[in-house]
Amino acid sequence: MGRKAGIELSNVQREQLTHFMNETKDKREYRAALGVLLRGDGKSAKEAGRQLGVTIKQVFMWCRKYHTKGIDGLRMKKQPGRPAIYGDKARKIIPELLKKDPQAFGYLKGRWVLRDIARELKKEGIDLHYTSVHRILSDLGIVLKSPKLRAPGSIRKNHRKRAEIRRYKRAASALLKKGSP
């Protein structure tokens, strides 16, 4: 004999799970409650996992937690670890910083680059790596264009631009070595 698919839920439990799904703001809690409801509707753990984009093991864990602790078993706990300190401060400063011209801060480039933003934040007392700045920018929905240091087209047409780019690269690296902003 094969195992019976799903778990047994009473009408009251279904209503509680539906109410929990409507009131929660955490998508993980919503998905856990939906997984338990799908199992209550008779779907197998494999079908429920495929539909929700999780493993069979995760569906079984949700059902086990619901069976032992009820709705409280589906609530997600606070994330462990040290709370973010610099990120919140940087989220306030970065949009104001991007409104200003980078050349006013002594940068040769005409647009902001992640490393320059991180450098300016460090001057403000917020020591973030440029990858963290990138993460904050993506959270804020801000996309920076990456500068292209090349002149398109043939060499004959753009020899002046190519020479200007070579001079810029040489000057920018020399300034960075001297410790200038």
What whole-number distance in Å separates Cα of residue 172 and Cα of residue 40?
A: 64
Domain boundaries, the chain: 11-74, 84-147, 149-181
pLDDT for 1: 42
- DSSP H stretches of helix in the chain: 11-23, 27-40, 45-52, 56-69, 86-99, 114-123, 130-140, 159-178
Q: pTM for the full model?
A: 0.48
What whole-number distance in Å separates Cα of residue 127 and Cα of residue 130?
A: 10
Q: Is the pLDDT of residue 19 over 60?
A: yes
Q: Is the pLDDT of residue 173 over 70?
A: no
pLDDT single digits (tens) 68-126: 999 999 998 887 888 777 888 898 899 999 888 888 888 877 788 888 999 999 999 99
Higher pLDDT, 50 or 87: 50
Q: For all residues of the chain together, what is the average pLDDT? A: 83
Q: Mean pLDDT highest for which of 3-12, 105-114, 122-131?
A: 122-131
Q: Which of 173, 79, 84 is nearest to 128 (CA)?
A: 84
Percentage of the residues of the chain whose pLDDT score is greater than 90 = 40
